[in-house]
Amino acid sequence: MHVDQERCQGHNRCSAIAPDLFEIDDYGTAHAVGDGTVPEGRERAARLAVDNCPEYAVSISDDRAEETRQ
């Protein structure tokens, strides 16, 4: 999972949905926690974050997550 720093406008919906998957820096910009790997069982939350970002800043490139994007 990845947050596009150019697109993120700090809406913070991602961290509200999945505070364990996103951290917000001092500028209000979101980053994926750790290396961006979505823990097992949190794919749905990650997908929700993708769908809820108004700037389309959150993306998932993992094959396994692709399957759940339907």
- The residues of the shown chain that bind ligand F3S, judged by CB under 6 A, are 3, 8-14, 30, 53, 55, 57-58
Coil, strand, or helix at residue 57? coil
Q: Which of 54, 36, 55 is nearest to 46 (CA)?
A: 36
Closer by beta carbon to ligand F3S, 8 or else 60: 8
Gyration radius of the chain over CA positions = 11
Q: How far is the CB of 30 from ligand F3S (least distance, A)?
A: 4
Closer by beta carbon to ligand F3S, 43 or else 58: 58
Q: How far is the CB of 53 from ligand F3S (least distance, A)?
A: 3
Angstrom distance (rounded) from CA 65 to CA 70 = 10
